[in-house]
Structure 1
Amino acid sequence: MLTYDVRVWGIRSRNSKSAPFQLRWLVGGTQHQQPFQTKTQADGRRSELLSAVRNREQFDTKTGLPASELRALNSPTWYAHACAYALMKWPEAAAKHRVGIAEALTNVTPVLVTTTKGSPDPKLLRYALRSWAFQATRTTDGDHASRKDVTPPPDEVTAALRWIAEHSLQLAEVGESAHLRRALTALSRKLDGSRAADNTFRRKRTVLSSAFRYAVELDLMPNNPLSRIDWAPPQTDDEVDFGYVPGPAQARELMKAVQGQGLRGEHLHSFFGCLYYAATRPSEAAHLKRTDCKLPKHGWGELLLQGSRPEVGSGWTDDGKSYEERGLKRRARKSSSHLVGSR
């Protein structure tokens, strides 16, 4: 139990050759003591306790430690916390969001380590993290668990995950400025070292911030450390270059060429037509059915958007399909949208 009821007493001598000085303090009525070899050591520890009292920090009645020290003592590694966070988010997250969480955590975890000596091949480590540590699956009881804990990974994946587990920083250390800046830099770069798009960085930073907020919720961190870091990603130019945007005539030629590629081409002709003329998202166009389309030969037509079907891969969906049936983005789950235009 944590309490503000703390009294720190003076240092006293005792009959001991190995530790002749003793510091005593009272926490919530429970006495605690610590022996020291020199008075200087005892004075230093007393100053630390008094500083915690002045900072209005609570103390733990069982151990006698300030809350910050207790938090550091019980701190898991960043890797363990990241696995727990990904598993916590999995049940309620959309498949695309699950992928986004895994990608962001995979970006930062390899740089939040105590050393890079003996580290696995970067490509192998990314695969082990993304597809085993941060991917979940159902157990025989119907609950969710990390894939690595349900299905035995290949030997090389097991070795990679063992290395990262042994060399990952303690969560209490991750909040230090140098470590946070390495993590943010990793989020702002592609695998080839070039700058990532601004939207990509913001999306991944949101995941990192959410992981820290979860640590605060579990009382593993006092606050979200990102709020005190003055860091901005390298500037990128995300403005659309209209020299590369096809005009109506060029778009018709492109879609006509696609249409001539057989049955698959006929399908893609309609797909790209929805993207270009109706400005649908790819997942919305993939969800369209013939009954959702009213397309007369002349005059105005209509598309009824009732959902989306993003492709994500079978490992990220609950039913094992390569896609997920979802509602329209940023809409109520059963809402629909009408698009009207002329041919």
Structure 2
Amino acid sequence: MNTSYDVKFWEIQRRKDRKTLSYLVRWTVARKPKSKSFRTKGLAESFLSDLRQAAKAGEAFDVDTGLPLSMLAAEQPVGPTFLEFARAYVVDRWRTSAARTRETDVYGLLSLVPALVADLPNRPKDSDMREVLRNHALLPEERRAELPRALVPVLSWLERASLPLVDLQDPRVVRTALDAISMTFIGKDAAANTVRRKREVLHHLLELAVEQKELPANPLHSVKWTPPKAVGTIDPRTVVNPEQARALLAAVPAIGRTRGGRLHGMFACMYYAALRPEEAAGLRRQNCHLPEEGWGLLTVEKARPQANKRWTNSGETHDSRGLKHRATDDTREIPIPPVLVAVLQAHIEKYGVAVDGRLFRTSKGQSFSSSAYSGVWQEARRRALTAEQVASPLAARPYDLRHAAVSLWLNAGVPATEVAKRAGHSVDVLLRVYAKCIEGQQARANSKISEALDE
């Protein structure tokens, strides 16, 4: 090792041409210039102070790295980098996660990995780094797309620049991570729910690091940070009344050559049985008890959520999964009114069922994409609603049919326990989410208060 005691220091320089890591520490060892950049002035001052103290104590400096021998030993990589551990995190969760959960994990890491890097020369464009991470670096090896030649240097830079995972023990680095998940990819404030989901990804990753002894404790717990408040209740402006729901459903069959007709029953299940779109997509003939008279029964046992092919087990856009928030083989029984029984009977008679018994599919036997059924729904809104209503949040998404169903049941006086059972919610979540959609409570409360005041 080539060492020297000939060391000189310069004042910290602000690098105004850089958006991040813009404080530069400069010094020379054996007249060879050295520098290191930091995100904050405090980090730069701390590093420069360590260098000065080492020189004052008479330590030799390594000519190649520019570091005193004590710091050189500490500078050696300790444990994995953040990128390396992020890869391990994705693989660790892949087998037991649903496709959408896998997508959410990687989406959160697309903000974090490019932020938690050192200031090495030739930083690639953020969009190129996200492309490399999304399509290659953050996927299990057997799922990775071939990396285009132009992006090979991008991955190489990321692997060299990624900060050691242990650096997240520094609260300033943690705040860098939190700042990153609080912004969109174009630099605007991210939606509260987006920030919450990305923070959950970071939290789970750091918990895994603690479990695997890479960190002594989750560093998020030592940082005082308040996330933006997310809306946890249904907006009552989105909820249609029964007359509006009937008008919307009646408009669907006339849309397109067969698409509207094939989707009519699916939308009806979302309104009359409060099915989630993925539950309706997974509904099979054997799940339906459709008597000639009276109420029928749906036994919901599978869902077919949509995701990009890179995230699904099947390699298709839809995976067959168990029900949300339930054990793999659990089911949910939902009594259905005669109007829905009739709709499903007519649908089966006209379109038949798939080989596996699925009711709702395209003319080629495939599950409908979310963009396909959303397009039909928007056309139904234009046909069934006034221009003012179309411009409003009223039934803006097909999912709002489910909200309308649950709100109708609650306002009809169905006990919350029964509503929760049919909708697949816990009672506490049900009442919290639909609190604003329960009509009449304010008037009843006012009446009780008036009676108490008159006593």
State TM-score, norm by structure 1.
Answer: 0.71
Matched residue, 1:329: 324
- CA distance in 1 between counterparts of 2:55 and 2:171 reads 34
The superposition leaves residues 77-110 of structure 1 with CA deviations (integer Å, 9 ceiling, x where unpaired) of 2111111221222223222221121111112111
Partner Cα separation in structure 1 for residue 184 and residue 270 of structure 2: 27
Instruction: Report what 1:60 is aligned to.
Output: none
Q: What aligned pairs does 1:264-343 form with structure 2 within 5 A after superposition?
A: 264-296=259-291, 298-342=293-337, 343=339
Give the RMSD, CA atoms, in angstroms.
Answer: 2.9
Map of 1:110 onto structure 2 = 114
Question: Which one of 175, 187, 202 corresponds to residue 181 of structure 2?
Answer: 187
Pair 236,214 (structure 1): closer, same or farther in 2 beyond 3 Å: closer
Change beyond 3 A, Cα 1:277–1:41: farther
Q: Identity across aligned pairs (percent)?
A: 35
TM-aligned CA deviation for residue 127 of structure 1: 2.1
Aligned to 2:139, which of 135, 143, 147? 135
Task: Give the structure-2-normalised TM-score.
Answer: 0.54
Does the residue aligned with 1:315 lie in a helix, a strand or coil? coil
Question: Measured at CA, do residues 184 and 167 of structure 1 come closer, stay the same or move farther in structure 2, by a change above 3 Å?
Answer: same
Once the two structures are superposed, what CA deviation does each residue of 1:10-44 show, in whole Å capped at 9, x if it has no partner?
xxxxxxxx9xxxxxxxxxxxxxxxxxx989468xx
Maintained 8 Å contact 2:100/2:307: yes
Structure 1 residues 1-343: aligned runs within 5 Å = 40=57, 73-115=77-119, 118-138=122-142, 147=144, 152-192=146-186, 193-198=188-193, 200-237=194-231, 239-261=233-255, 262-296=257-291, 298-342=293-337, 343=339
CA offsets per residue over residues 287-343 of structure 1, 9 Å max, x none? 001232233465212111011111112211233122111111222211111101313
**SS of residue in 1 equivalent to 2:310:** helix
Structure 2 CA distance for aligned equivalents of residues 239 and 334 of structure 1: 29
Q: From the superposition, tell whether residues 157 and 246 of structure 1 become closer, same or farther in structure 2 (CA, over 3 Å).
A: farther
Q: Which structure carries more helix by proportion?
A: 2
Q: How far, CA to CA, are the matches of 1:252 and 1:297 in structure 2?
A: 22
Gaps of 5+ in 2: 6-53, 60-69, 340-455
Equivalent pair of 1:71/1:172 in contact (CA under 8 Å): no
Q: 2:290, 2:297 within 8 Å by CA — same for their partners in 1?
A: yes
Distance 1:257 1:158 in 2: 51
Question: Going by fraction, where is strand more abundant, 1 or 2?
Answer: 1
Distance in 1 between residues matched to 2:126 and 2:254, nearest whole Å: 42
Q: 3-state SS of the aligned residue for 1:329?
A: coil
| Residue 188 to residue 255, structure 1, CA distance change in 2 (3 Å) | farther
2: CA distance, partners of 1:208 / 1:234: 16
1:322 aligned partner, one-letter code = T
How much does 1:204 deviate? 2.6
CA shift in 2, pair 1:264/1:221, >3 Å: same
Distance between the aligned counterparts of 2:185 and 2:233, measured in 1? Answer: 22
Question: CA 1:72/1:174 → structure 2, altered by over 3 Å: closer, same or farther?
Answer: farther
Q: In structure 2, the residue corresponding to 1:316 is in which secondary structure?
A: coil
Q: How many residues align?
A: 274
Deviates more, 1:248-257 or 1:183-192: 183-192
Q: Provide the rounded CA distance (Å) in 2 between the counterparts of 1:38 and 1:124.
A: 41
Change (3 A) 1:181 1:152: same
Please tell me the residue identity of whatever aligns with 1:259: P
